Structure 1
Amino acid sequence: MAYRGFEGKKHASVYQKYRIDPPEEIQKLILGYLDKKKEKPHDLAVDVGCGTGQLTRQIACHFKSVVGTDISKAQIEEARMMPGFPNVSYKVCPAETLPFDNSSVDLIAAATAAHYFDTDMFLKEVERILKPQGCIALLGYTSKFEFYFPGAHHGRLSEIYEEECRPFFPYIAVQGGKNDTMLQEMFEAIAYPDKERVEDIIYKIRKPVSDIVGLTESFSPYQNLLKAEPDVANAVLQRIEQRFLEEMKVSSPETELEMWVHYYCILASKPK
């Protein structure tokens, strides 16, 4: 990876607890695409930049083996603590140097991670290790979140969230901007003629206010702010919780609201 922003053990723990699992709709989209492009069996999937292994575990039952890779030792250690997936393993390595044989991988996936990769080097590795007709799936969600709660003014919770997150906007790495373009640069760089990008897959989930705060804490720009200005960073989380509860007219941070997350997915298949 060209960027390292998820190194700390505490950050990895927060990431594991609060990060959003990819929606089932995207899992079906990826596996349906793979089934159309390549005959079964599907032996090996590699989840690059796997973090604490949310996608790795989600697709495990569809392959003989799944390997999650990440440059962060702390993230991999957290992933390995999750029991019950005997065909899943993890490796610490960068996305640009993947420890797999030539033409050995059926699916290469990356969930909310590919914007941190060196595009040219990563795609060279994809070409090297992917089987003919094997597929690549790059998914993520943009920074546009929407929040809804009965009785709250329409759009107000979303406005509050954006307002309170502004202190860490200056700490967004260049790579974060690539994510909000839905990986346009990487999509254009994929040389395979068989490729597509599915946009604006809206994932509607219910989360308590406390989890929204925890999710915010897991973001790398927030962590960058925390290192530079800890008092400011802590105040951001406190204000998000306080203002959400006030707007929702409730007192418990365990009160659930509806969160809309805007996902996208790039799919491509290597020619025969």
Structure 2
Amino acid sequence: MATRLFEGKTHASYYQKYRFSPPQEVQDLIFNYMGERLSKPYGFAVDVGCGTGQSTRILVPYFEKILGTDISPAQIEEASKANDIPNVTYCVSPAEEVPVDECSVDLVTACAAAHWFSIEKFYKEVDRILKPRGCLAIFTYIPDMEVHYKDRSEQLTKVFKEGQKMLAPYENEKVRLVKTGYKDLFDAIPYTDKKRVENMTTKMPMLLSDFLGLIQTFSMFQDFLKHEPKKAKEFIVTTEKRFLEIMGVSSTETEIEVRLNNVCLLASKPK
């Protein structure tokens, strides 16, 4: 059974505001892989576990029609509110039951989401809906981030890692799949034409306020907030204060650089 952790309206609104699209390096990898196996124009893509649509929107330039699905009505509501693109639609649907026809899809994507799925059932559904030679792309970033600002990067990253340790008791067991770079998910892909690309580092400029918001989208923080709301809020206030003191600034609108390590699984259905 798929894991459901992103149901609340407040969580969904934070997701819309602070989660980011797959980095350009990952996008290039996906579309180069696909271009070697399918001819343009591409007809139909499905982004499963789409959340509030950040990973869905990157597909727009490449496909005539795009569907984003998520098991959370709150996430789909946020995605739909932000949608002004005519070839994109969203619907509430579990990853293991995608409401499209057999052999109708050129590309299935799942970005920072597949570890929550019932993976064997999901792969069976992918096989049902993909066209022959259609592609599957699963991406995630590893939680072990670095925070950079001038000559204070080591200190800032230490604060972030200390925060991760504090949140660790609230970490869902499925996050282990992310920490191991989706190795288990890769091994379970039923196709022989598949590849796993890791150690793709992305340097992402963002405001400190946005980074603090990103932390609050993490499933472990949301679980912390659910069980100990006062301590969770104090944790964010304390973390913000420590960051500002180390940086020597007074405003959370100061830009930092977050470095992410990414992994991407790619596969193609046989002819």
Under TM normalisation by the shorter chain, which class is it?
A: over 0.9
The answer to whether the aligner puts 1:265 opposite 2:264 as a matched pair is yes
The aligned counterpart of 2:196 is 197
Displacement of 1:144 in angstroms is 0.7
CA distance in 1, matches of 2:235, 2:140: 24
Q: May I ask how many residue pairs the two structures share in their alignment?
A: 271
Structure 1: stretches of 5+ with no match in the other structure: none
The aligned counterpart of 1:12 is 12
Deviations 1:96-153 (A, max 9, x none): 111111111000000000000111100000111110000000001011100111131x
Across the aligned residues of Structure 1 and Structure 2, the Cα RMSD in angstroms comes to 1.0
Deviations 1:47-94 (A, max 9, x none): 000000001111112100000000000000000011331100011010
Q: How does 1:107-256 map to 2 (within 5 A)?
A: 107-152=107-152, 154-256=153-255
| AA at the equivalent of 1:142 | I
Displacement of 1:40 in angstroms is 1.8
CA distance in 2, matches of 1:255, 1:115: 33
- Secondary structure (helix, strand or coil) at the match of 1:7 reads coil
CA distance in 2, matches of 1:263, 1:240: 25
Structure 2: stretches of 5+ with no match in the other structure: none
| AA at the equivalent of 2:121 | M
CA distance in 2, matches of 1:172, 1:91: 28
| AA at the equivalent of 1:104 | S
- Do the aligned residues in 1 keep the contact of 2:142 with 2:178 (CA within 8 Å)? yes
- Do the aligned residues in 1 keep the contact of 2:48 with 2:109 (CA within 8 Å)? yes
- Do the aligned residues in 2 keep the contact of 1:46 with 1:108 (CA within 8 Å)? yes
Displacement of 1:21 in angstroms is 1.6
| AA at the equivalent of 1:180 | K
The aligned counterpart of 2:87 is 87
- Secondary structure (helix, strand or coil) at the match of 2:20 reads coil
The aligned counterpart of 2:46 is 46
TM-score by length of 2: 0.98
CA distance in 2, matches of 1:164, 1:172: 12
- Do the aligned residues in 1 keep the contact of 2:182 with 2:263 (CA within 8 Å)? no
| AA at the equivalent of 1:255 | T
| AA at the equivalent of 1:146 | E
CA distance in 2, matches of 1:83, 1:4: 23
CA distance in 2, matches of 1:135, 1:64: 16
Deviations 1:164-189 (A, max 9, x none): 23222111111111111121111101
Identity, % of aligned positions:
47
CA distance in 1, matches of 2:196, 2:231: 38
- Do the aligned residues in 2 keep the contact of 1:137 with 1:265 (CA within 8 Å)? yes
TM-score by length of 1: 0.97
